């Protein structure tokens, strides 16, 4: 077979990569064509039909749109998994990965907001701040009754105060002012902000990974279907937040502590979960092994069995310096946040409203599934506990487990890369918190993907595979003409989600084992040829 060489070989794209790109592109187009329409709520009115991509859907009769949506997500996911396999084997170059990202992002960038109406809430909160209201004390209902910004907001959130940080609502305000009050203009600007966040994630994935793992990190972090659809397509704040998080973590790892802490604090001023990344960075720097003194080194090398104790004593002598360093880092982060809090009238108002998203539960939240299972088990034992009491118990247990994971991670912070530690803490919060939305999963997936390998890579593949199908709107329309099936799905949605989680984990385990077997066979063939 003829293979181009030199400059032309670098431009040549293998046929399988072309097929992967085409399959992913078709999947993305299907999601863009259906995800906006199915995300519409009956009492919410977008500012434009977006060339028919936001036309209303009849919610009282069966429709094939959810099948196209699920099929598009599945096709994109399969293309992503195949691209990840090639990248992991070292036969997908970073240039090819960037090409796939560009091709798959084009339909998303040109299409309407999909899978969620949150971006319209962002626009309304920006208008509130720009017109003299405090979004931490005033809800979108304070806007004029005929305002397009109010009409586009999901009715569920029209009376809710902003749960986002001061930097986030300031960005909303700037978008409103730059767009001249045009809602369409604000949506375009917020989509561009999300695109900037995804580009920053991609750049940090390339910069933070070893040279031979750059394509793998890029595929896992930026081509991830959750990133494409929920961060870029829905223009969620996680795009810019996670871009700042990974940029800050990498800066701290490379010794640029002040820059890194400021970036991480800016991320926390967008959404509060990034505070965990700030804590991880401070703990990582406090636990950094400093150079032992000459006396400590001589004592450590003694052969009388006491050298290790002398070295440990030397580390204890330096403990006050470590505590002082952590305090200085905390002051840097605090000063940065104070400056960002001054951007809005009530810089700490979001502390009161930060739990607003947890007031609306989702059936696929692990703590909700656990509550359903406990309730089912209690019924088998002829017990009659309060469903609300069971849910409260599982939510508190989830938060306690999250706290335990964070404490253990901080205590062993030097045992792994900083990005992995921060990713583990953020992923625990997303998965075990009171409510889960698919874009929350990127809190942990993006940092873990920056240095792919071993359990971290497996976790990214499994969680992204399951999470890609979460939050797809109005899939019940597939069985709208079958009341019994519809009722069963609504009553057992948690079990369906649990089965999906298990299936995704099993699929990724099988793929991982298959890849390992293939690699071992190729190594054996190569060894036999050399022999």
Average pLDDT over residues 458-471: 90
Amino acid 127: pLDDT: 96
Domain presence at residue 314: no
| Of 101 and 361, more confident | 101
What does each C-alpha distance from 55 to 60, 131, 190, 229, 438 come to in angstroms? 15, 30, 22, 19, 24
Domain count, the chain: 1
Amino acid 422: pLDDT: 96
Domain presence at residue 305: no
Q: Which of 122-136, 178-192, 504-518 has the lowest mean pLDDT?
A: 504-518
Average pLDDT over residues 112-126: 95
Nearest to 365 by CA among 229, 236, 471, 460: 471
pLDDT by residue (tens digit) across 344-384? Answer: 999 899 888 988 888 888 888 999 889 988 888 887 777 77
Average pLDDT over residues 400-410: 96
> Average model confidence (pLDDT) for the chain?
86
Does residue 289 register a pLDDT over 60?
A: no
Amino acid 361: pLDDT: 85
Residue 154: its H or E element: none
Domain presence at residue 312: no
pLDDT by residue (tens digit) across 7-61? Answer: 444 555 688 899 999 999 999 999 999 999 999 888 889 999 999 999 988 887 8
The fraction of the chain above a pLDDT of 70, given in percent, is 84
> Any alpha helices (H) in 131-182, and if so which ranges?
148-152, 166-178
**105 CA to centre of own chain:** 17
Amino acid 355: pLDDT: 86
Dist CA 413 CA 8 (whole Å): 46
The upper half-sphere exposure of residue 227, i.e. CA atoms within 13 Å in the direction of its Cβ, equals 33
Does residue 185 register a pLDDT over 50?
A: yes
Amino acid 491: pLDDT: 65
Domain containing 255 equals 13-289+336-530
Q: Which of 352-356, 387-391, 484-488 has the lowest mean pLDDT?
A: 484-488
Specify whether the backbone of 385 is left (phi greater than 0), alpha (psi in -120 to 50) or beta.
beta
Dist CA 32 CA 475 (whole Å): 15
Task: Tell me the pLDDT band of 145, cut-offs 50, 70 and 90.
Answer: confident
Q: Which of 248-257, 286-295, 297-306, 503-512 has the lowest mean pLDDT?
A: 297-306
Amino acid 190: pLDDT: 97
What is the biggest distance separating any 2 CA atoms in the chain, rounded to whole angstroms? 84
Cβ-based neighbour number of residue 152 at 10 Å: 23
pLDDT by residue (tens digit) across 422-450? Answer: 999 999 999 999 999 999 999 999 999 99
Average pLDDT over residues 91-120: 95
Dist CA 5 CA 170 (whole Å): 51
Domain presence at residue 310: no
Task: Tell me the pLDDT band of 295, cut-offs 50, 70 and 90.
Answer: very low
Q: Sign of dihedral through CA atoms 263, 96, 228, 222?
A: negative
Q: Which of 12-16, 75-79, 324-328, 390-394 has the lowest mean pLDDT?
A: 12-16
Domain presence at residue 388: yes
pLDDT by residue (tens digit) across 198-212? Answer: 999 999 999 998 888
Dist CA 73 CA 508 (whole Å): 16
Dist CA 324 CA 166 (whole Å): 29
Task: Tell me the pLDDT band of 455, cut-offs 50, 70 and 90.
Answer: confident
> Any alpha helices (H) in 342-450, and if so which ranges?
349-353, 366-380, 387-411, 418-432, 442-450
Phi first, then psi: give them for residue 167, nearest 5 degrees: -70, -35
Dist CA 83 CA 89 (whole Å): 10
Domain presence at residue 322: no
Token reading at 229? 């659809």
Dist CA 518 CA 461 (whole Å): 18
Amino acid 292: pLDDT: 42
Domain presence at residue 309: no
What does each C-alpha distance from 320 to 223, 314, 316, 327, 487 come to in angstroms? 44, 12, 8, 10, 62
Domain presence at residue 298: no
| Of 491 and 384, more confident | 384
Average pLDDT over residues 61-80: 93
Average pLDDT over residues 466-487: 79
Does residue 227 register a pLDDT over 60?
A: yes
Amino acid 83: pLDDT: 95
């Amino acid at each position: 077979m003829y293979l181009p060489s030199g400059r032309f070989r670098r431009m040549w794209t293998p046929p399988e990569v072309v097929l992967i790109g085409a399959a992913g592109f078709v999947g993305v187009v299907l999601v863009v064509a259906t995800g906006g329409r199915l995300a519409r709520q009956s009492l919410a009115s977008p500012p434009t039909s977006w060339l028919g991509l936001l036309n209303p859907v009849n919610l009282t009769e069966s429709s094939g749109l959810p099948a196209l949506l699920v099929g598009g997500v599945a096709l994109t996911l399969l293309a992503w998994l195949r691209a990840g396999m090639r990248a992991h084997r070292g036969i997908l170059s970073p240039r090819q990965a960037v090409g796939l990202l560009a091709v798959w992002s084009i339909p998303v960038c040109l299409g309407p907001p999909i899978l969620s109406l949150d971006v319209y809430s962002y626009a309304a909160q920006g208008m509130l701040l720009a017109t003299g209201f405090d979004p931490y004390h005033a809800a979108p209902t304070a806007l004029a009754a005929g305002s397009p910004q109010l009409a586009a907001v999901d009715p569920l959130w029209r009376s809710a105060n902003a749960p986002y940080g001061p930097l986030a609502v300031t960005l909303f305000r700037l978008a409103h002012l730059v767009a001249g009050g045009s809602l369409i203009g604000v949506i375009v600007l917020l989509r561009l902000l999300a695109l900037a966040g995804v580009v920053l994630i991609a750049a940090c994935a390339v910069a933070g990974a070893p040279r031979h793992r750059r394509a793998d990190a890029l595929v896992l972090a930026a081509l991830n279907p959750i990133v494409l659809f929920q961060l870029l397509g829905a223009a969620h704040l996680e795009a810019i937040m996670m871009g700042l998080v990974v940029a800050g973590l990498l800066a701290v790892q490379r010794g640029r502590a002040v820059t890194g802490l400021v970036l991480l604090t800016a991320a926390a001023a967008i959404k509060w979960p990034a505070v965990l990344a700030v804590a991880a960075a401070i703990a990582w720097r406090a636990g950094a092994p400093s150079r032992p003194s000459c006396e400590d080194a001589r004592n450590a090398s003694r052969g009388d069995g006491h050298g290790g104790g002398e070295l440990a004593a030397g580390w204890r002598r330096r403990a006050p310096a470590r505590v002082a360093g952590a305090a200085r880092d905390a002051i840097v982060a605090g000063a940065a946040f104070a400056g960002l809090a001054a951007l809005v009238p009530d810089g700490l108002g979001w502390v009161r409203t930060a739990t607003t998203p947890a007031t609306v539960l989702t059936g696929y939240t692990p703590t909700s599934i656990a509550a359903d299972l406990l309730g089912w088990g209690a019924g088998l034992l002829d017990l009659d506990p309060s469903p609300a009491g069971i849910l409260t118990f599982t939510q508190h247990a989830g938060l306690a487990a999250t706290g335990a994971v964070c404490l253990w991670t901080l205590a062993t912070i030097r045992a792994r890369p900083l990005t992995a530690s921060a990713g583990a803490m953020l992923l625990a919060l997303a998965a075990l918190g009171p409510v889960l939305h698919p874009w929350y999963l990127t809190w942990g997936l993006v940092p873990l993907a920056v240095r792919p390998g071993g359990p971290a890579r497996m976790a990214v593949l499994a969680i992204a595979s399951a999470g890609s199908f979460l939050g797809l709107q109005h899939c019940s329309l597939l069985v709208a003409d079958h009341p019994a099936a519809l009722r069963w799905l609504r009553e057992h949605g948690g079990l369906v989600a649990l089965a999906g989680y298990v299936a995704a984990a099993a699929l990724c385990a099988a793929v991982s084992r298959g890849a390992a077997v293939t690699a071992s066979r190729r190594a054996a063939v190569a060894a036999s040829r050399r022999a």
